[in-house]
Structure 1
Amino acid sequence: MTSPATTPRILVNRSALKIDAQLVGVPANTCSEWTLIKNGKIVEASTNSISSPWQPRNSLTPGVYEVHAKFETSTGESEIIATLPMEFGQDLQSRPPRKARPARRNEYPPSFKELVFQEARKSYREPEYSAWLLDVKTNAYRFAETLGYKTPILETQPFTATAIPLVRGTVVKPLTGVMSQGVFLLGEEIRDLANGTTFSSLEDVRIPMNQLVESGKIKKDEWIREKLIHSDIDPTRPARDIKFYTFYGQVKLILETIRNDGVERCWYDQSLNTIDTGKYTKFLFPGNGVPLKYFQAAQEIGSNIPSPFVRIDFLASNDGVVLNEITPRPGGSNQFHPSVDRNLGETLIAADARLRRDLVNGKKFDAFNMVRLSS
C-alpha cells in the first residue's frame, strides 16, 4: 500500500469494456464514494473500501468517461479526485480484419505500404520540403513547440555515443531512427527499449550504442537526451506511447503501446473501437483508452504538415500532451492485413488530393516553414 504521505490519486485499469479503479495515497480501509461520469452525465455511483478496487456494475459503452472518488481526510474534510477523460469505442479486437474487396479487371488497388514508399522516394529529391524534415527529432520538437505542444527534449545539440552524458531520469536516443532502435531508458531500471535488455550500470549503455553505429543500424553517431516521461496511468512506469496514423490531419488508425515487463499493444480505429489490423496480433491487450485531447492534437499537428501522411507519436503523461516524434514512414507497414493496407492506401490518396487543393489555394504552412528556413 502506498504511503499516506503520497499525493492521493486514482489508478484505473481497463479490461475489455470494463474498468477497475483504486485510490492510492490514502489510509487503509478508508471508505470512498465513487462516481462514473459519461459525456458529462453520472451513469453510476456507489461506495467502496480502499482495500479493494472499485468496479462499475455495468460494461462500458462507447463514450467519454471520467472516474471521480470522494473520501474523508484526517481533518474530516471531503476531497474529490478525477481521472483524465478516457474515450472508449466498441471492443472489436477479437474480430479478424475483413477481407479485401476484389479488384476490378485492370485495376490496381491502392496499397499503403507502396504509397508510403513512393512518398519516401519523392522526398529524397527535396527532403526539406517534405515531412522527412521532421524525421529529425530536434526539428520535430521545434515544430511542435511552435504549435504550443510540450516535448521531452533536454538539449537540441546532439552528442556522440562517447560524449553524451548518461544520467538517470533521462532517455537517450539517436537523432534519427525507427522502431525504437537505439532508444535507452535510464530510470531506476536501465533498459534497451527495442529488445528489453537491461544493464547494471549507465556506462554499459555506451557499448550497444557504439555497436549500432558500427553495424550501420544507426546511420550517424548523433544522439540526443530527453526527459524520462512517466505514465498517466501508473506514474511509476514509463509513459505509454500513443501513435496516430494521420492523413493530412485526418486520424485513421491509433496504436497504444505499453512497455513494462513485456510489450502490449492495442489498435483503435478513428472511432476508437479496438480492432485487429493483422499487425502485432500476438501482443494485443484491451487497451486503456485514448484521451480526447491527444486525438485533437494529432489532427492539428497533421494538418500543419504539407504531407499526405505522417505518424504522430505522443507520450501519455499527467503533464498533458507530449510529442515524442513524427515519422513519415513507420516500420512494419507490410504486416497490415490486405484490407487494412488497402483502406489506408485509399485514405492516403484522398489526403493527397486535399493537400493539393490547399496548396493551389495558397495555404501557408507557417510552423513547418519556420523549421525549414532555420534548419
Structure 2
Amino acid sequence: MTSKPLAWARNRARSLPHVAWRDERIAELVAARAKLNRELAKARKELANLDPADVEVPSFRRYVFAERRIHSHMKHRNYPDRGNLVTRKLKSYSFAQSHGVTIPELFGIWDRPEDIGWDELPDEVVIKSHTGTYGRGVFPLRRVGGNWSMVTTKGVIKPAEIVERLRGFEARRLVGGPYFAEELLGGGVGDVIPPDVKFLAFHGEIGLGYLRALETFDDSSSWRYRPFLEDGSNPGPIYRGHTYDPTVPIPDNLDELVAAAKRLSLGIPRAFTRIDMYSVSGRVVFGELTPRPGGPVDFGAEHDERLGHLWERAHARVLNDAIDGADQLLRFGPGPRELKIGDALVLPPQDSRPDQA
C-alpha cells in the first residue's frame, strides 16, 4: 500500500508545471500510440482480405482509399494537406471563375458565424463555411417569418441555432471560416437544389459522371443517382451502394459541362479530382472540388479497372510535369480571380489567395 505522505508527495509533484507538462505529454504519446495501433490493425485486416489477383490491375477504389490513408499520414506528421489545393471553397471559386465557369452570386462574407448579417440577406440563400467536408457547414435556407427553414424541410431553424451548429463544427475542426452567403440555385424538387453533376476527372480526361438528385438535403437515404459516360450514355446501375434512378434527366448542356470539367481538371496538378457543377436554366455553375470522395466508391470491376488506368496515366502526366520543373500550384485561367459582392471586390482570405498552394 502507498503511504499517505507518499501519495500526498506524488500529487503535489504532479501539480508542478514541468511535471504536469510531462504527464500531459505522456498522455498525448499514449493516445498517439493507441491511434497508430488501430491504424496498423486496420491495415493488416485490409491486407489479409486482399485477393492477390486484384493487385495486378489498376483500381480506382484502391487509389481513393490510398489517398485517404496518405492524407491521414500527412496529417499525423503535421505536413501540409495536399487536398487544401482544391478544398478551400473561396479559393476554388476564384479558380473556377478565372477559367470562365460561373460561380454562385455572393451576398456577404464574415469572419465568424456570430457576424452573419441575417437581416441583410435575401429570402433564399445558402450559408457556407470556407472549409468543411461531407456537407458540414452548408445550410440551404428559406426565410419563414422572422426565422428560417432548410429548403427541403418544413421545420424552423433560428439563426442562433445555425450559429451554434457552426461553432460546434468549428470547435471539432470540421469547418473553418470565413463564412459566406450565396444564392440558392433553383431547379430541384420544389424549385430548389438542382441535381449535382459530378465528374471523376483525371487531369484533362473525364472517366465517369453521375447525377445526384435529393429531396432532403440532410437525409442521404433520399438521394438518387444516375451514372453516365462522357457522351451521355447510360452504363446502368454501376454505382453500388447508392439508389439508382435512370429518370434523373441528363442536362441538355452536357457538352458544356464536360468541357468545363476538363478545363478545370487540367489546371489542377493532381491525378484525380472530383469536380461538381450544376446546370441551372442552361448555364453551367460551379459547385466544388473534392480530392478524396467519402463513402463507398464501388463502380464494379470493369469500371473500377478502367478508371484505375485513367488515374495512373494522369499520375504519369502530372509527375512528368513536376520533373520538368512545373510548380504544384493551381493553374489559374485568364479570367478575373477577384470575388465580388455587388460592386465591391472581395479578396479571398490569406490561406486561399490565388497565388497560394
TM norm structure 2: 0.63
Is 1:131–1:310's contact at 8 Å kept on the other side of the alignment? Answer: no
Per the alignment, residue 288 of structure 1 pairs with 249
**In 2: Cα distance, 1:258 partner to 1:276 partner:** 15
Residue 338 of structure 1 and its aligned partner are, at CA, apart by: 4.9
Is 1:146–1:367's contact at 8 Å kept on the other side of the alignment? Answer: yes
**In 1: Cα distance, 2:53 partner to 2:244 partner:** 35
Is 1:306–1:355's contact at 8 Å kept on the other side of the alignment? Answer: yes
Consecutive unaligned residues in structure 1, runs of 5 or more: 1-101
The answer to which structure has the higher helix fraction is 2
Alignment of 1:354 with 2:310, yes or no, is no
Number of residues of Structure 1 aligned to a counterpart in Structure 2:
269
Alignment of 1:224 with 2:176, yes or no, is no
Residue 302 of structure 1 and its aligned partner are, at CA, apart by: 0.3
Deviation larger for 242-251 or 170-179 = 170-179
Deviation larger for 333-342 or 302-311 = 333-342
Is 2:213–2:248's contact at 8 Å kept on the other side of the alignment? Answer: no
Q: Within 5 A, what are the aligned runs for 1:233-272? A: 236-260=191-215, 262-272=222-232
Per the alignment, residue 367 of structure 1 pairs with 332
Q: Within 5 A, what are the aligned runs for 1:1-375? A: 104=53, 107=56, 109-110=58-59, 111-117=62-68, 120=71, 127=80, 130-154=82-106, 157-166=109-118, 167=121, 168-187=123-142, 192=150, 198-203=154-159, 204-214=161-171, 216=172, 218-220=174-176, 222-231=178-187, 236-260=191-215, 262-274=222-234, 275-290=236-251, 291-318=254-281, 320-361=283-324, 366-367=331-332, 371-373=353-355
Q: Percent identity?
A: 20
RMSD, matched Cα: 3.5
For residues 200 and 106 of structure 1, do their structure 2 counterparts lie closer, same or farther at Cα, with a shift above 3 Å needed? closer
Q: Which letter does structure 2 place at the counterpart of 1:242?
A: V
Consecutive unaligned residues in structure 2, runs of 5 or more: 1-50, 217-221, 338-352
Does 1 or 2 have the higher relative contact order (CA < 8 Å, sep 6+)? 2
TM norm structure 1: 0.61
**In 2: Cα distance, 1:311 partner to 1:241 partner:** 12
Residue 146 of structure 1 and its aligned partner are, at CA, apart by: 1.2
Is 1:264–1:285's contact at 8 Å kept on the other side of the alignment? Answer: no
Deviations 1:356-375 (A, max 9, x none): 23444566864189855257
For residues 224 and 256 of structure 1, do their structure 2 counterparts lie closer, same or farther at Cα, with a shift above 3 Å needed? same
For residues 346 and 366 of structure 1, do their structure 2 counterparts lie closer, same or farther at Cα, with a shift above 3 Å needed? closer
Residue 116 of structure 1 and its aligned partner are, at CA, apart by: 2.8
What is the SS of the residue equivalent to 2:313?
helix
What is the SS of the residue equivalent to 2:95?
helix
Is 1:112–1:342's contact at 8 Å kept on the other side of the alignment? Answer: no
For residues 283 and 366 of structure 1, do their structure 2 counterparts lie closer, same or farther at Cα, with a shift above 3 Å needed? closer
Q: Which letter does structure 2 place at the counterpart of 1:324?
A: G
Residue 304 of structure 1 and its aligned partner are, at CA, apart by: 1.1
Deviation larger for 132-141 or 233-242 = 233-242
Task: Please say which structure displays the higher CA radius of gyration.
Answer: 2
**In 1: Cα distance, 2:90 partner to 2:138 partner:** 15
Per the alignment, residue 31 of structure 2 pairs with none
